[in-house]
Chains A and B, each alone.
Chain A
């Protein structure tokens, strides 16, 4: 079974803090994704990566950066957290050329 794990299920941070969200997949997938999920808006793509050290902006990259130093790990970084970044963050991975994305359980981030 493909497994995508995220470092925390729940996280509470203060405005202005630097926040790291970690994602690890164990199936040697080339593609990895970060989404945020908000009520009524569905999933919106923040960034994706198709290879180590490669990254592409998604629909809402502002305020976020990413890092992919190893194939299995994809990190989302909030340089200076703000209250409007309170959300559910979902990581996903997929094989190159495959439509099926495998999702982690999500991290619910609250910024106060």
Chain B
């Protein structure tokens, strides 16, 4: 079946540290890949996406590259801020209608000043 695996959290970093959150997927086809972020007390928001192999999604200093050969979509940021503290979800979608997502379990990030 289709699934998304993320590194277990929580991840705790100091401000300005480099962030990597690993995400790998299993899919019966060619999915589109996403990172969503959930800030405390809020719903999920789309952070970035990539729809085909070798695409790089980027937003707010975060980046992720769609690696078909390793079935991965790791999230990176060069210098995290306290305001980046949130839960990050990796997700995939296999259809063209935006109706069928598979989410990973989420990784909680805490950034300390």
Contact = CB atoms under 8 A, between A and B. Distances in A.
Interface of A: 4, 31, 35, 40-45, 48, 50, 56, 90, 92, 94-106
A44 B98 CA distance: 15
B34 interface: yes
Given A42-B89, A48-B99, A101 B46 contact: yes
B98 A99 contact: yes
Contacts of B42: 105
Interface string B63-105: 0000000000000000000000000010001001111110111
Contacts of A44: 103
A90 B44 contact: yes
Contacts of A106: 43
5 contacts: A31-B99, A41-B105, A42-B105, A102-B43, A105-B42
A101 B44 CA distance: 9
Contact of A97 (B43, B45, B98, B104): B98
Interface residues on B, range: 20 to 34
Given A56-B99, A96-B98, A99-B46, 16 more contacts: A4-B43, A41-B105, A42-B4, A42-B89, A43-B89, A44-B103, A50-B97, A90-B43, A90-B44, A100-B46, A100-B98, A101-B44, A101-B46, A101-B101, A102-B43, A103-B44
Contact of B98 (A35, A40, A42, A98): A98
A42 B44 contact: no
Contacts of A45: 100-101
A97 B103 CA distance: 19
A45 B46 CA distance: 17
A94 B101 CA distance: 12
Contact of B41 (A50, A97, A105): A105
Given A94-B98, A97-B97, A42 B103 contact: yes
